Amino acid sequence: PAPGIKGGALAGRHVLVTAGPTHEPIDPVRYIANRSSGKQGYAIAEALAALGARVTLVSGPVSLPTPAGVHRIDVESARDMAAAVETALPADVAVMVAAVADWRAETSAGQKIKKDGSGAPPVLPLAENPDILAGLARNPRRPRLLVGFAAETENVVDHAIAKRARKDADWIVANDVSGDVMGGDSNSIHIVTRTGVESWETMPKAEVAQRLATRIADEFA
């Protein structure tokens, strides 16, 4: 390629990646969250950038450095993540790796919630968060390749097949989290497409990322 122009199988493509957990506020000092480290999503963003893609990484709160060549947008809640994803469109590919909180506190208190002395804990009504992946599938600017992740602890492939159809994603990358995966360095995955299932041996998250980036690039070859 000419100087200053990025070569690579995904050169000229815009890829959107979501990663990390979301934090759903309860009051100014408390939130609902989950154990996602963001490692897998960050590794995927890095691997896609290494193939020449322009990568926008919409990230929940994590303690990871921004991968080289990646444009990172930090968000906290699921609703913030949904808005940042919409703003980042159009994209050729979206890879939704974030562990989006399924529920948020229905209202976030303006002040720190105090114990009232009665010993009765406060009731915390929940509301369901928007499904960012399913929303993108229905978006008029839907990316050409829409990839979801699914962390499952049992019936991994069956759940992923149902999830792909329900959300109308092109692929679901199903992650078997029955072992010690969340926060760990290895993943055991199956790629569920519209036409079948590709199962990969257990491998480090960095290798999953590289192979997935290559697999994505093959779709644009």
Annotated binding site: 102, 112, 130-133, 149, 163, 167
Number of residues lying near ligand CTP (CB under 6 A):
16
Q: Is 133 in the site for ligand CTP (CB under 6 A)?
A: yes
Q: How far apart are CA 101 and CA 32, in angstroms?
A: 8
Q: Is 149 in the site for ligand CTP (CB under 6 A)?
A: yes
Q: How far apart are CA 75 and CA 61, in angstroms?
A: 7
Q: Is 130 in the site for Ca ion (CB under 5 A)?
A: no
139 in catalytic set: no
Q: Binding Ca ion by CB under 5 A: which of 74, 76, 102, 219?
A: 102
> For every residue of 164-181, which 3-state class applies, written as one string?
HHHHCCCEEEEEECCCCC
Output 22 or 188, the one with its CB closest to Ca ion. 22
Q: Are 146 and 219 in contact (CB under 8 A)?
A: no
Output 70 or 98, the one with its CB closest to ligand CTP. 98
Q: How far apart are CA 1 and CA 7, in angstroms?
A: 5
Q: Binding ligand CTP by CB under 6 A: which of 20, 21, 38, 148?
A: 148
* CA 95 and chain centroid, separation: 6
For residue 46, the partner it binds in Ca ion, ligand CTP, none, with Cβ less than 5 to 8 A by kind, is: none
- Binding-site residues for CTP sit at 102, 112, 130-133, 149, 163, 167
Q: Read off the DSSP letter of residue 21.
A: B
Q: How far is the CB of 196 from ligand CTP (least distance, A)?
A: 19
Q: Is 132 in the site for ligand CTP (CB under 6 A)?
A: yes
**How wide is the angle at C-alpha 32 spanned by C-alphas 125 and 172, nearest 5°?**
105
For residue 216, the partner it binds in ligand CTP, Ca ion, none, with Cβ less than 5 to 8 A by kind, is: none
DSSP helix, strand, coil percent of the chain (3-state; round to 5): 25, 30, 45
Q: Please provide residue 158's backbone torsions phi and psi, each rounded to the nearest 5 degrees.
A: -60, -45
Q: How far is the CB of 211 from ligand CTP (least distance, A)?
A: 18
Over the window 83 to 102, marking each residue x when it contacts ligand CTP by CB under 6 A and - when it does not, the resulting string is -------------x-x-x-x
* Closest to 199 measured CA to CA, from 218, 165, 175, 167: 175
Q: Catalog residues that contact ligand CTP under the rule CB under 6 A.
A: 18, 78, 96, 98, 100, 102, 129-133, 148-151, 163
Q: Which residues form the interface with Ca ion (CB under 5 A)?
A: 102
